Amino acid sequence: MGEVALSNGKGNGQKYSLNGYRKSCWYEEEIEDNLRWCFALNSILHTGTSQYQDIALLDTKPFGKALVIDGKLQSAETDEFIYHECLVHPPLLHHPNPKNVFIMGGGEGSTARELLRHNTIDKVIMCDIDEEVVDFCKSYLVANSEAFHDPRLKVIINDARAELESREERYDVIVGDLADPIDGGPCYKLYTKSFYEFTVKPRLKEGGIFVTQAGPAGIFSHTEVFSSIYNTLRQVFKYIVPYTAHIPSYADIWGWVMASDSPTDLSVEELDHRMRQRIKGENRYLDGKTFSSASTLSKVVRRSLDNETHVYREEAARFIHGHGKQA
């Protein structure tokens, strides 16, 4: 769980929960039992609690404004573009002509922002279960205000599974921008084989592409959930592309997995060509060579993915370190 602390610089500062103390010097997040990550704060801008999650907006010295949910940093002002460009642009660029997209989660609006940069897009559905998170982000994350006012975006407050199952519409791309699977969190059931097979896949058009954020993917952390999510998706789809990037504010390599029943092979040159043709403005992080590098995993991670046997199910779930509000 994330905490703030007053410290004299010698590591023995008194700690307070985010909801209990507003004037602080440091934010600290427990990554593992014996590993914590902390950085200096200018201030705590807001804290709140919804039906599902604890929410905080911090003004940090190294990363600018940072959104924290259930004690886990979700995104930070200075480097969120890495995460969101990696999540959004690979599936849209590999699709020949994406018109409509369904976002599972994505309440902060950054995923919608990146999707709406594509000139092929006619309609984006953003479905987030937590209205308080969406309203919170609309109020405080001004960088995404244009996206929230784009007429192509429709925001729906509902459980993503229930919403997809109630719809007859099919989509060119479905994006999983869900919170990490943590024990007691609201999202872990949306990483299961049954959900991918019976809810996500039937809602994709022919040639459609699914992409999901897949948690930490570092040399040591990739076995928490990344390898399992990869193996689960390859039980459901024919073509699977795992890829990773370093996110400084996460203090780790992060992973995504793209899945489809149609081939997803494009050259560096074709990716760059499609970016120039389709995307408004220039990406800060992702281009053809960067994606080629991102999808070339290290030997140890490739070996783990090749040998992974765990299939993500509700009764056999894996979690990253931490606990949700309902744990």
Residues 101-128 as b/e (b if ≥16 CB within 10 A, e otherwise) read: bbbbbbbbbbbbbbbbbbebbeebbbbb
Tokens representing 179 are 């919170």
User: For the chain, where are the E strands, in sequence order?
Assistant: 3-6, 14-17, 26-32, 35-49, 54-60, 64-69, 72-76, 100-105, 123-128, 153-157, 171-177, 204-216, 239-247, 252-260
Q: Residue 20: how many CB atoms within 10 A of its CB?
A: 9
CA dist., res. 300 & res. 162, Å (int): 38
Unique residue bearing structure tokens 């902060």: 108
Q: Which of 130, 177, 180, 252 is catalytic?
A: 177
CA dist., res. 253 & res. 247, Å (int): 6
Tokens representing 17 are 């929960």
Tokens representing 89 are 């642009």
Tokens representing 229 are 């999510």
Unique residue bearing structure tokens 């969406």: 134
Please provide the DSSP assignment of 46-100 as one string. Answer: EEEE-SS-EEEEEEETTTEEEEEETTEEEEETTTHHHHHHHHHHHHHHHSSS--E
Concerning whether 70 is annotated as a catalytic residue, the answer is no
Which residues are part of the catalytic machinery?
177
